[in-house]
Amino acid sequence: MLSAREITVKLLQNWSNSRQFADELLAEQNAIPARDRAFVQELFYGCLRHHLALDFMLRQLASKPPRPIVADILHLGLYQLFFLEKIPAHAAVNESVALAKQFASPAEAKFVNAILRRADRRSLDAAPAWIRHSHPEWLWRRWLTRYGEADATALCRWNNEPPPLYIRTLTEELPAGVPAEPSGLHPLSWHVTDAAGLFELPAKFYAQDPSTLIAVDILDPQPGEDILDMCAAPGGKTTYIAQKMRDTGKIIAADSSNVRLGKVSENCNRLGVNIVATLACEGTRLDRCLRGTLFDRVLLDAPCSNTGVMRRRVDLRWRLQAEEITRLATVQSQLLTAASEFVKPGGVLVYSTCSLEPEENERVVERFQESHPKFTLDTTRSIFPPRDKMDGAFVARFRRNQI
């Protein structure tokens, strides 16, 4: 059976050689012993979060780049030495050397030993800010221009911390036996204090950050209404809408993926939600399926760059490209226009993202206002993680005029 560190090295290799996201790769590892899974996740995600800083430290220490497998072993060792306080230095070094002996040559094992024994985190002091904070230069400069150095630094530091686990409960009371405490961020949101065995408990709850509840609160669905939830999978907002409606009325949960809609149905069944019907259809083509049906309220939780949830999507920063933000903004505008066609006169339309970028948020809203005079902007809300202590998000609420 492989050790936690052996599994982590293999995961780092797989990540470098594929386009899969880290959470997908980790989810595929069914053979990880339960006792090791949390440690593997911490090592794997930590190395990816701090990838740029670790790589800079390695380049300062090595006269020439090592082979990729050796670089991964050194990244893992450096991460344990300088970013994981609970690991003794001798253990980080010795275990890394043992990995090198297993995956590389004897000479490379000696190289790993020499590098780690003379490593010094102070070498990062000379690095540019984006390297110290381990974010792409283009993203750091974008946030620096928008937020200023203090807030940009706070955001990067936020992204580099492991996220807490929150659950939404079906009432403001915590179910018996669930190890959690009030989050202080939302009446239905609880901070889990011990995740071991959490999802084997019979209690009904849904794991989600409190920021994801805000769009539904602003939508303000009422019992007995007809609601359209676009881009609904995996169902966190859908089931919260049903909860606020007291499971009376009707919700159409639409998404382009049948597989992802299966998650919506699964979550509805688990939470006892009965008013949701799923619809597999791409958002800009919904008119072909709904054929003029109008709804009291429509929620569009649009696909986005996810820059507000980089704390949870640890390797997104290395996969995302600057031009993707512009492309997504075009898609978001198309989806918002499509969503507007299903709102009754006097009805509500809510647009939300988990992006921090104005092109995907304020600019989309501005273009929609200019081209859709039948809709009035009621309110907007932007969530900035270091300030609001939750994932980043943006929400805009429109109301369709009666005439």
Residues labelled catalytic: 354
Q: Residue 191 pairs with which residues in a beta bridge?
A: 166, 181
Q: Residue 253 pairs with which residues in a beta bridge?
A: 229, 278
DSSP letter assigned to residue 203: S
- The answer to whether 171 and 187 are in contact (CB under 8 A) is no
- Written as six digits, the tokens of 226 are 């007809």
Residue 92's closest CA among 65, 67, 113? Answer: 113
Pairing outcome for strands 295-301 and 166-169: unpaired
Helix (H, G, I), strand (E, B) or coil at 251: strand
CA distances 395 to 125, 205, 206, 319, 378, Å, are: 38, 24, 21, 25, 11
CA distances 356 to 48, 66, 216, 308, Å, are: 21, 37, 19, 5
- 359-375-379-364 Cα dihedral, nearest 10 degrees: 0
How far apart are alpha carbons 287 and 244 in whole angstroms? 27
What is the phi/psi pair of residue 308, to 5°? -80, -10
Q: Is residue 358 reached through a cis peptide bond, with omega within 30 degrees of 0 on the bond before it?
A: no
